[in-house]
Amino acid sequence: MSTYSIHVSGISDATTEQHLTDFFTFCGKISKVEFNKETHTATIHFEKASAAKTALMLNGGTLDGAHLTITSDQIPEGKDEGHHDEHFDQSDKPRAGIAAEYLAKGYTLSDQILQRAIELDKQHGISNKFLSYIQSLDTKIGEKALGPEKTISGKVQETLATATQQAKAVDEQRGITKTASDYYLRALTSPFGQKVKAFYTTTSKQVLDIHEEARRIHETQKAAGISAGAESTPASAGVGSSAPPLSSEVHSTAT
């Protein structure tokens, strides 16, 4: 099976192979990690080219206090989508969304990296599989909760004054977010549903939007009863998962 590799240097003495795995899991599914602690270098092998491209986007990011240098011998060419199955995974998400997950976990990414994520989304577009999932989720749950031809994101944004009340009423009647494990479902049923949908389905974004989405991830996790201080596995590899809680002490810093 072919893999797509990136090389990492400048790794901290405190970093372990598990730290590297946790950090790069946000990019997509990893097939192998080769870590040389003596030289402070590593090679990360991904299953998809899109995951390797996302990892390259993180060049200059911080892990365990060290600024990582991330390179590749051969940057994957062509469009990100090479598979036609219906399931989407982590590497199909918009790069700006993945960057928000990093911030929500408490990793430090410069605003330059966040801008890089935005530019990649503009250049390559957003995975059709991911767009289809968000649209179907919005429509199917909207019809179930509100009636034919209704969407969750549209309904809660009909008027600003009633947005919160409407979202709460839908939740109480149907118990949607009480049983939902999917971050996107919880977000779409929030008063910010339309904003969330726009963030994940359009390429028109600003750095501030990524910071706002990181905070939304944190608030959604907090509402779900996850302690802000809890250590949890940072895997965010597909439907039904999302980034761990936001650290209030770590935000991106301008370069």
Q: Name the DSSP letter for residue 92.
A: G
pLDDT at 86: 55
Domain carrying residue 166: 131-193
- The answer on 183 and 89 residing in a single domain is no
49-86: per-residue pLDDT in tens? Answer: 999 999 999 999 999 999 999 999 876 554 554 444 45
Give the chain's end-to-end CA distance (angstroms, integer).
38
Distance in angstroms (rounded) separating the CA atoms of residues 226 and 212 = 19
- The answer on 59 and 160 residing in a single domain is no
232 or 37, higher pLDDT? 37
Measured torsion, CA atoms of residues 230, 235, 239, 243, in degrees rounded to the nearest 10: 50
The band of 159, judged by pLDDT with boundaries at 50, 70 and 90, is very low
The band of 244, judged by pLDDT with boundaries at 50, 70 and 90, is very low
- The answer on 57 and 168 residing in a single domain is no
In DSSP terms, 4 is beta-bridged to: 46
Tell me, yes or no, if the pTM score tops 0.85: no
Distance in angstroms (rounded) separating the CA atoms of residues 196 and 208 = 13
92 or 254, higher pLDDT? 92
- The answer on 210 and 120 residing in a single domain is yes
Between CA 77 and CA 101, with CA 43 as vertex, the angle to 5 degrees is 75
214-234: per-residue pLDDT in tens? Answer: 999 988 777 666 533 333 334
β-strands 66-67, 62-63 pairing: antiparallel
Distance in angstroms (rounded) separating the CA atoms of residues 20 and 114 = 20
The Cβ-side half-sphere exposure at 252, using a 13 Å CA radius, reads 26
For residue 255, pLDDT beyond 50: no
pLDDT at 240: 29
For residue 39, pLDDT beyond 90: yes
- The answer on 35 and 93 residing in a single domain is yes
- The answer on 38 and 158 residing in a single domain is no
A 10 A CB-CB count for 149 gives 9
- The answer on 145 and 20 residing in a single domain is no
Q: How many domains does the chain have?
A: 2
Q: Please answer whether residues 253 and 111 qualify as being in contact, where contact means their C-beta atoms are separated by less than 8 angstroms.
A: yes
Burial state string for 74-84 with b = 16 or more CB within 10 A and e = fewer than 16: eebeeebbeee
For residue 148, pLDDT beyond 50: yes
- The answer on 119 and 62 residing in a single domain is yes
